[in-house]
Amino acid sequence: MNTASLSNLLKHRSGTFAVVDIGTSKIAAMIVHSDGENPPAILGIGQHAASGMHRGEVTDIKTLGLAIGKAVEGAEHMAGISIKQVVVGISGANQRTDIIQRDIEITSGQVTKRDIQRLKRLVADHQEDEGRITLHRLPIAFTLDQVSGISDPINLAGKRLSLAICTITAAAATLHSIQMAVEYNHLRVEKYVSNIYASGLSALAENERELGTTIIEIGGGMTSIGYFVQGQIRYIDSIPHGGGSITQDIAKMFSIPMNEAERIKTLKGSVLAAAGDSHEKITMPMVGHDADASQPIEIGMLGDVIRARVEEILEQLIKRLDTSQYASAANQRIVIVGGVAELQGMEKYTSTMIGRFVRVGQPQGVRGLTEATKGAAYAATVGLILYRCYDHLLELTRDHANSNTRWSSNIKDWIINNIWETGSR
């Protein structure tokens, strides 16, 4: 399904709502208003250092709840309103994709609305594996007999009709812990959304999602990879390393406090710098010494440490992708997002290492971003907004599969009324 083009035909879901991006290093909250016509407008932004999370998994529900509360409180203060529920973006929880296909016999020899309803119920009633919860059900296309890639099979002649969907599932235990942390603030989870999916909605251009693009999000504790084609995501994977691993490497190598390692990484870090390239040095405090004790650090040596970890992360991800069924298709272009994507030289280094066109993705499609939130680190947060406004319409839910909806010959209405959901699951 060309969902990228179709989403442009759909009016935004109107109203005021909130999203919370739960990462390992930061919690970002945004309160948004959509009038149903114009790009959604951000009313309030809040952020707080994450706690109670480690490499995408919950380690302390109460401290995570406090961090979420601080971020939401900041957004509420800026917007001047209170919220009751949130769309929650997650990066960990052992997410994975599966392609599911179901088919039926066409007894009349011509596809009818009743056949579509039967097929929808078969797909939507697919049971998750034990201990897992489905985050997204994303229809791919119909196949009628030997003809694939069909978007509207109604009235076509054939004997066997099938529908393929891509599901994204996550560990139920992790989602339960996150829910408890959110509810600690008297908030309700409206919907869970995969962050790598959300990042693709905000950072990829329509033609990139359509023709085939790999998006890599290097967050604080997780690095995720997603492959988009024909307007929709098809594959995701992740590894439990990210910007936090780089910071830890710097702290260990130079025996400096973690907070100073993070600061030097952000201000002076470069993936391209190497020892001997420059005589520039910076002075940093040493661990376990008085405040006056310090040491000089060469910028090039800092670059060596950063580059070694970045290379390891990228090699692991590409190896994962190469073993997937999308290995050949994904050899096209790569977009990188997340805080590490903003490191100096990241774009050039990644392109040279992988041998593909690479660009740093910036969040697009909303109004009201501040200078601090316009960068690649907020691609997922903005993507949650876009998902909540309209992309949820292009998913299949059990409730919608079992509903009796009217028929419309208009393709846009047909998709919403006969295949995909009209509300959240």
Q: In angstroms, rounded to a whole number, what is the distance separating the alpha carbons of residues 392 and 138?
A: 9
Please indicate, yes or no, whether residues 222 and 106 belong to a single structural domain of this protein.
Answer: no
Q: What's the total number of domains in the chain?
A: 2
Question: What mean pLDDT comes out for the span 18-35?
Answer: 95
Q: Give me the helix-helix angle, 195-203 and 379-389, nearest 10°.
A: 90
pLDDT band at residue 415 using 50, 70 and 90 as cut-offs: very low
- C-alpha torsion sign, points 66, 71, 76, 77: positive
Measured distance CA(227)–CA(330) in Å, rounded? 7
Is the domain of 252 the same as that of 153? no
Q: Assess whether 223 and 147 both reside in one domain.
A: no
Is 147 buried (19+), middle (13-18) or exposed (0-12) by CB count in 10 A?
exposed
Q: Is residue 412 part of a domain?
A: no
Out of 8-17, 75-84, 371-380, which region has the weakest mean confidence (pLDDT)?
8-17
* CATH number of the domain where residue 224 is located: 3.30.420.40
Residues 259, 252, 256, CA angle at the centre, nearest 5°?
Answer: 40
Determine the structural domain holding residue 275 and report its residue range. Answer: 205-360
| Domain termination residue (choose one: 169, 192, 223) | 169
Residues 214 and 154 in one domain: no
Average pLDDT over residues 282-310: 80
**284 & 349 share domain:** yes
Q: Answer yes or no: do 216 and 344 share one domain.
A: yes
Mean pLDDT of the chain: 86
pLDDT tens digit sequence for 111-169? 998 898 888 888 877 777 889 999 998 888 899 998 988 888 999 999 999 998 899 99
Domain final position from 123, 154, 169: 169
Residue 213 sits in the same domain as residue 165 = no
Out of 315, 334, 360, a domain closes at 360
> In terms of domains, do 328 and 214 share one?
yes
Question: pTM surpassing 0.75?
Answer: yes
Give CA–CA dist 286/295, Å, rounded: 7
pLDDT at 330: 57
| Percent of all residues in the chain with a pLDDT value above 90, rounded to a whole number | 58
Domain shared by 148 and 256, yes or no: no
The pair of structure tokens assigned to 187 is 């908030």
Residue 393 placed within a domain:
no
Share of the chain above pLDDT 70, in %: 86
If asked whether residues 321 and 212 sit together in one domain, one would say yes
Both 148 and 237 in one domain: the answer is no
Q: Which two tokens stand for residue 112?
A: 């009818």
Per-residue model confidence (pLDDT) at position 397? 65
